[in-house]
C-alpha cells in the first residue's frame, strides 16, 4: 500500500498533517497525531492545495512545439539557421509566427529563406499554417485542394492553409509519435493534476496516443478530451475522461447558424455539453443565437471569450453558459492587442470579474502551447490585468488573489464550479507550495511549487 504523510502543511491557513493512502486523502489532523508512513514529507508550513486543473490546452501540440523552431524572436534568422542545420530533404517545422512582428508570410518568402526545403510554419494562434513550395508539393496541394487552402488569382496556392490541421496531418510523412513525457513533467512542475485537451480532433487516433501516455503515466494527470462534432458519439479509450464537444467558430469563415444549431443538438442528444471557440465579437453573437435556438445544457461553455460585449453578459448568464478563458494572454499579447485590436473591442478583452458579477461561471486555462503554459502566470494576469510592458488591458477590474486561483481549482468536469478543497475522502491530487499561500500570491509563479501529487503518486518534487 502506497502511503504518504505530509507533515505541517497549511490547509486553509491551519497547520496540519495530511495522510494519503493509495489515491485518496484519508486523514487530516493536528501535527504529530497521524502516526508514521512509508514516505513522510516535511512541508514546513507551505500551503497544500488541490492540484491545479487547466481547463483548455492542447497536449499533442505542446509536444510538437517542443521539437519545433520558434520564430517568435525573428522569423528570417531562425528559418535560415534551421535550413542550414537540417539534413537535405528533411522538413522544418516552425511555430510562433505573428504577422505583426514578422510581416506577411507566404510560400515565396519561405522558398527564399530555405530554398528547396519543405517548411511549415504555424501561426501563433494555431489557426493557420504557411507552407513552402516544396511542402505544398509534398502534401499534394494541387489545383483541387480543400476550402481553407488560400489561392492567388491564377489558382496557385499562396502557401497559407487555414484550419486544415487534419487534412495536413493525413498528408505529412510519418513521424515518430510525439514525446509527451516532457509535457507531463512540465505540467507536474506547475502543480497541475488535471487537464482538458480541447483539440477538435476528427479521428480517435490522437486519443489513443493520449490514452497510452496516461496508462504509462508519461502524462501523470487526469486527462479529459473533447474532439470535434464528428466524434460527438465516440467514447474515449482507456482512462481518458469525456469532456465537451469542441466546436470551432473560425474567425474568417463563420458557419451558418443552422449548421451550428445542428452541431449543438447532436452533442446534446448524446448527451454531452459543447465548448464553442469564440475569439471575436461576431463569433460570440452567433454562438449565443445558436444556443437560443438549440437550448443549452449544464456544462456548455464558450472557449476564450476574447471579446465579450457588455450586452452579451446577460445572455450568457440566462443561458447558463460557462466561460473558459486565458487571462495570461493579457500579459503575453496585451501590448499587441492595444495596437491591433479594433478600438471598439478593446474594453471587452478577456473579461473575468464582470462575467463573475453577471453570474457567469468562469474557468481558467492556458491554451498551451498557443498561450504561456504556466497557470500561475494566468493567476497573476487575472489579478493585475497588465501587459508585459505594464499597460492595463480591457476595462475589467482585476480579480482578488483567491478568485484568480479558484479559476484553476474547480473540478475538471465543471470549470467555474466551486473550488475543490483538501479534505479527507477526496482524491489525492495535491499541489504543495514552498511557502504560505498569501506569500505565494504576492507574485504567483510555478517557482513556488515544491511538490505535486497526482492520484496519490508524487509526480514532481523540487
Ligand atoms: Zn485552444
Which strand (E) or helix (H) includes residue 377?
Answer: helix 375-384
Distance 66 CA to ligand 1 centre (A): 17
Instruction: Give the bridge partners for 93, in sequence order.
Output: 120
- Give the integer Cα–Cα distance in Å for 134 and 144: 17
Can you count the helices (H) and strands (E) in the chain?
16, 23
Report residue 407 as a C-alpha cell: 479559476
CB contact at 8 A, 448 and 405: no
CB contact at 8 A, 393 and 330: yes
Report residue 396 as a C-alpha cell: 475589467
CB contact at 8 A, 393 and 386: yes
Residue 259 CA from chain centroid, whole number = 26
Distance 416 CA to ligand 1 centre (A): 17
Radius of gyration of the chain (CA): 23
**3-class secondary structure, 300:** coil
Distance 38 CA to ligand 1 centre (A): 41
Distance 24 CA to ligand 1 centre (A): 31
Q: Where are the alpha helices (DSSP H) in 180-306?
A: 181-189, 205-215, 257-269, 281-294
Supply the DSSP string of 101-112, one letter for each residue. Answer: HH----HHHHHH
Instruction: Give the bridge partners for 225, in sequence order.
Output: 197, 242
Distance 123 CA to ligand 1 centre (A): 13
* C-alpha atoms less than 13 angstroms from C-alpha of 397 in its C-beta half-sphere: 6
Distance 371 CA to ligand 1 centre (A): 9
CB contact at 8 A, 367 and 423: no
**Other CB atoms within 10 Å distance of the CB of residue 414:** 16
Distance 302 CA to ligand 1 centre (A): 11
Report residue 147 as a C-alpha cell: 476550402
Q: What is the pTM of this model?
A: 0.89
Distance 56 CA to ligand 1 centre (A): 6
pLDDT tens, position by position, for the chain (462 residues)? Answer: 569 999 999 999 999 999 999 999 999 999 999 999 999 999 999 999 999 999 999 999 999 888 789 998 899 999 999 898 888 888 999 999 999 889 999 999 999 999 999 999 999 988 999 999 999 999 988 777 888 999 998 889 999 999 998 888 888 877 666 789 999 999 999 999 999 999 999 889 999 999 999 999 999 999 999 999 999 999 999 999 999 999 999 877 899 999 999 999 999 999 999 999 999 999 999 999 999 999 999 999 999 999 999 999 999 999 999 999 999 999 999 999 999 999 999 999 999 999 999 999 999 999 999 999 999 999 999 999 999 999 999 999 999 999 999 999 999 999 999 999 999 999 999 999 999 999 999 999 999 999 999 999 999 999
Torsion angles phi and psi, residue 247, rounded to 5: -120, 120
Give the pLDDT score at 26. Answer: 97
**Other CB atoms within 10 Å distance of the CB of residue 34:** 19
Instruction: Give the bridge partners for 151, in sequence order.
Output: 157
Q: Where are the alpha helices (DSSP H) in 385-434?
A: 401-406
Amino acid at each position: 500500500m502506497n502511503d504518504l504523510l505530509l507533515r505541517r502543511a497549511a490547509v486553509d491557513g491551519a497547520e496540519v498533517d495530511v495522510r494519503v493512502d493509495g489515491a485518496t486523502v484519508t486523514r487530516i489532523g493536528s501535527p504529530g497525531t497521524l502516526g508514521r508512513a512509508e514516505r513522510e514529507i516535511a512541508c514546513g508550513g507551505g500551503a497544500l492545495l488541490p492540484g491545479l486543473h487547466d481547463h483548455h490546452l492542447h497536449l499533442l501540440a505542446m509536444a510538437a512545439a517542443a521539437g519545433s523552431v520558434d520564430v517568435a524572436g525573428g522569423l528570417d534568422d531562425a528559418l535560415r539557421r534551421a535550413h542550414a542545420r537540417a539534413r537535405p530533404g528533411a522538413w522544418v517545422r516552425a511555430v510562433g509566427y505573428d504577422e505583426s512582428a514578422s510581416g506577411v508570410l507566404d510560400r515565396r518568402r519561405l522558398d527564399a529563406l530555405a530554398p528547396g526545403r519543405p517548411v511549415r510554419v504555424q501561426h501563433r494562434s494555431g489557426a493557420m499554417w504557411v507552407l513552402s513550395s516544396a511542402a505544398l508539393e509534398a502534401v499534394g496541394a494541387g489545383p483541387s485542394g480543400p476550402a481553407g487552402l488560400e489561392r492567388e488569382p491564377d489558382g496557385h496556392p499562396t502557401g497559407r492553409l487555414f484550419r486544415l490541421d487534419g487534412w495536413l496531418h493525413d498528408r505529412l510523412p510519418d513521424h515518430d509519435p510525439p514525446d509527451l513525457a516532457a509535457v507531463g513533467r512540465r505540467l507536474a512542475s506547475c502543480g497541475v493534476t488535471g487537464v482538458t485537451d480541447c483539440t477538435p480532433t476528427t479521428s480517435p487516433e490522437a486519443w489513443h496516443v493520449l490514452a497510452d501516455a496516461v496508462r504509462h503515466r508519461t502524462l501523470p494527470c487526469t486527462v479529459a478530451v473533447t474532439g470535434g462534432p464528428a466524434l460527438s458519439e465516440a467514447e474515449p479509450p482507456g482512462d481518458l475522461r469525456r469532456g465537451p464537444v469542441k466546436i470551432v467558430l473560425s474567425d474568417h469563415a463563420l458557419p451558418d447558424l443552422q449548421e451550428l444549431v445542428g452541431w449543438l443538438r447532436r452533442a446534446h442528444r448524446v448527451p454531452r455539453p459543447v465548448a464553442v471557440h469564440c475569439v471575436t465579437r461576431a463569433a460570440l453573437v452567433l454562438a449565443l443565437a445558436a444556443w437560443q435556438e438549440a437550448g443549452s445544457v449544464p456544462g456548455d461553455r464558450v472557449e476564450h471569450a476574447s471579446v465579450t460585449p457588455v450586452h452579451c453578459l446577460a445572455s450568457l448568464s440566462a443561458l447558463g453558459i460557462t466561460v473558459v478563458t486565458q487571462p495570461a494572454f493579457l500579459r503575453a499579447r496585451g501590448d499587441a492587442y492595444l495596437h491591433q485590436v479594433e478600438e471598439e473591442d478593446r474594453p471587452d478583452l478577456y473579461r473575468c470579474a464582470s462575467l463573475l458579477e453577471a453570474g457567469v461561471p468562469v474557468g481558467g486555462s492556458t491554451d498551451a502551447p498557443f498561450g504561456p503554459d504556466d497557470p500561475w502566470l494566468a493567476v497573476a494576469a487575472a489579478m493585475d490585468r497588465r501587459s508585459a510592458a505594464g499597460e492595463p488591458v480591457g476595462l475589467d477590474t482585476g480579480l482578488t488573489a483567491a478568485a484568480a486561483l479558484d479559476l484553476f481549482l474547480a473540478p475538471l468536469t465543471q470549470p467555474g464550479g466551486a473550488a475543490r478543497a483538501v479534505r479527507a475522502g477526496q482524491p489525492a491530487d495535491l499541489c504543495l507550495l514552498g511557502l504560505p499561500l498569501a506569500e505565494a500570491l504576492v507574485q504567483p509563479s510555478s517557482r513556488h511549487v515544491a511538490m505535486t501529487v497526482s492520484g496519490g503518486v508524487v509526480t514532481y518534487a523540487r
